[in-house]
Each structure stands twice: as C-alpha cells, then as structure tokens.
Structure 1
Amino acid sequence: MIYQRVLLKLSGEALMGNLGYGIDPKVVADIAQDIAQVVQEKVEVAIVVGGGNIFRGVKASAAGMDRATADYVGMIATVMNAMTLQDALERINIPTRVQTAIAMQEVAEPYIRRRAIRHLELGRVVIFGAGSGNPFFTTDTTAALRAAEIDAQVIFKATKVDGVYDSDPVKNPDARLYKSLNYNHVLTEDLRVMDGTAIALCKENNIPIVVFNLAERGNIIRAIKGESIGTIIGGSYDVN
C-alpha cells in the first residue's frame, strides 16, 4: 500500500444517493463495504463527514437565520451522519469510534487528538463529527485540520464527479479533467475543490488531496493503492 494513514472526506450529499434529502441506507452500506476493504489492507482510516444532506448552514443563513446558529445546527447534522456510518461499519465487523468537536458524551467520544491516534493504531476507523466545533468553518477545513493533527499522509475527497475540472462538467461537456494540480493553481483559479482555508492548511502542512468519484465502487481502495484516478493536488505535484 502506498499510504498507511489516510483521511477520507465524505460530503453529506454522498450519503443520500439519489434521494432528495436524508440518508439512503443502501448507499451508506456500499460506502461501508468500500471502507472495509481499505481497513482489511491494514490502512488506518479517519473520516470527516459533512451534513449537507440534512441541513446546510450557509443556505439557512442566506435565508435569514443567524449564521452562527445555522452552522451549529449543521454541525449536529454531521453527527447524525457519523453515527449512521458507524452503524453501517460495525454491522460488517469494522470497529469504529465517533469523536465529536461538540460534547455529546451519551452517543460519542469527545475529540481528543491522542485518543484518536491510538484508535487508529489499534485498527479502528475514527469518524470525526460536529465539524471543528466552531461556526464559520466548513467540514473541508475540518478535514484539513484533522489530517494535520493526526499526521495523515493524504486527504481523499470523495465527490460526485471524476475529479477537478476547469469548468463545471455538468454544464460544459467539453470541460477538461485535471490529472494533477498544485495548491496555488487551485487558489488562484478559484477551482472550488475545497474552500481556501482548507487548501492553505494542506499547503502549509504539505498534505496532498486526491479528488475522485465516490459513486464508482472500489474507487476508495484504488486511490489508496496509488492508482491513477481522479485529480491529485499538491504533494510532489506542487511545483510553486
């Protein structure tokens, strides 16, 4: 295996499949099976999950809701997704711990960096819920922060498209897929892979980001094996 410890960033939308809202149990079960393949290869896996399938703080704020309050509600939504994913993993005998940045001791552990690392060393999947615990920060930024804290070698960002394009592939059939990019290109061209804070954190800590299509079964294990799928940002490709 090319990586020993990885962080997987899952959007909340990835968990709802073709539903318009909520969680599709079959999709979650499929994701759990793919993650199980990775764990069975003795790769340590941490996950940050979003909450956009249940509640989007930015959208609610734009509609008039207090931004900080909206962001806290969104953080709670990520915990619901984290617990759902934990259940799917443990039903196939993958030991899993949920750690949250907002205390919810009845259902999850508090986020403690050393404890998270110890869980990973013992072969447990660790799912980070409740974002960073602070409003005004995205779960992409949380992914970059947690990856740096636990010394992850790479961030895998699972999306609905095959990687990073120079324009929206849904609107432009001639959009070009990038195979590799450096951090500065992503920032200056405003490619919106992750928010600017997340990209800056990855650049500062030299954490590469692999963006790939989650919908294709087996892509998670292919990416971790180092196969050429999606787009890789930074790492040895960062020439600036």
Structure 2
Amino acid sequence: MSGKNSIIATLLALMLTLGIAQADSLKTQLEQIIHAQSITIKNLHLVQDGPPLRLSGTPDQQLKRLLSDYNFVQLSNKEGNIEKIIITSIKRYDNTPPPAVVEKPKTDASYAIKTTRSGSHHLVQAELSGPYGIKLKANMLIDTGATTLVLPASLQSALGFTDRNLQPGFSETANGRVEIMQGKLKSVVIGKAQADNVDVSFIADDKLQSSGLLGMSFLGRFQMTFDDASNQIILKPY
C-alpha cells in the first residue's frame, strides 16, 4: 500500500505543477500554481473569484492566462524562473470600440540596464519627458512598492507641468498620508527601454531623499529581473 500511496502522491504533485489539479475556482487555480512553483504573490486580494479556467502550457503561460484581467509585474531570477508577482490593479474595460491601429510586431527584445547601488537598492538614470515634450534627466530609485513614478514638487515647472495638467490628491506612505499632485509624463526612457503616458506623482521635496522613485506605472510595463551580481536590471516588454 505504501508504494501505491507514493505513486498517487507523485501523480498529484505532477498535476498540481502542471496546473491541472481539480480546482473549484479561479483563485484556487492561481493559489495552486504559485504554491507549486514557490512564487511569492502580492495583492492577491485584488483577484476577483470566478469559475476555473481550462489551462494549458507552462506555469508562466498559465499564470498570464489567470491574470489576463489584471495589471501586474513579474520578477524573475537570472535563470528566468518567476520569483514574485505583484498585482497592481484590475484592468478597466469599456464598450467603446478601440480605434484602428497598426499592430506592433511582437519582439523578444530585452534591455539590460546598468544600475548604481544604494545599499540593497538599485538606482538608474531616467530621461523624463513632460506633457509638452520638455526633457529632463533624473536619478531614480527602483521601488516596486510605489504605485506611480514619484518626483519632487520642484520638478513640476521644470518639466512643463501647470495647474491645467495636474490634479491634487493624497498618498499613503510609511510616514503617513501626504499631499500629492498627479499627472502624466509623455514618456520615460531608461537605457533603451521606453514607456509612454506614465502616471507621475509630485510630493514635497523634503518627503524624498536625493532621488525620485521609479514605481509601477513604468515598471509594470515590463517583466523585470534584478541582477545584483552585475549591478543591472533586465527589462523585457510584455
């Protein structure tokens, strides 16, 4: 009997790894895969439960299928294995037909970007473009815990922002609630990696140190891998 039980346990483990074990809900499927692959997931509470999906392919492909209705960032190690997933928000849809666009060709390009270190943190230099195309270079601390790109308020006018393209708001930080002004950067370029229409928050200069924060409004456009040994990050567009 012990040999038979061992075979059954092995089969169940294999089914779980492949994402085909019996599941009664979408969230259960997701939990099974991240448990089998030893993946850390943040903000799982944002996932709305529903009936399970029919899945196939690799665990990476299954995760993307299960999270197709969510914005998330995926952190991988140097071997390409997923280590952490951060769900940032639910994708918003409406009934308006999208405008006709020329589909961009898919690319396997990835961008290796040198960083400098501040303790365990990585810093990069970014080229920021304001709403009217005014460009500015700034040192940015990579922060996957920041929802948006964060800059000191003193850079608002330097980038061409005015009251007409900024909205007041609040942000919860480790030091409490702070007032912010919110807007959109025309583009952000890190090395050869670029993202357009990036949400940005401006806060009082004394609330930041010497660098701005490169948050998820930029990082969420890419699959990101930290390479601590070589002091670089690797960004691959989704």
Q: TM-score, normalised by structure 2?
A: 0.22
Give the strand-richer structure, 1 or 2.
2
Give the helix-richer structure, 1 or 2.
1
Q: Tell me which of the two structures has the higher relative contact order, counting C-alpha pairs closer than 8 angstroms and 6 or more residues apart.
A: 1
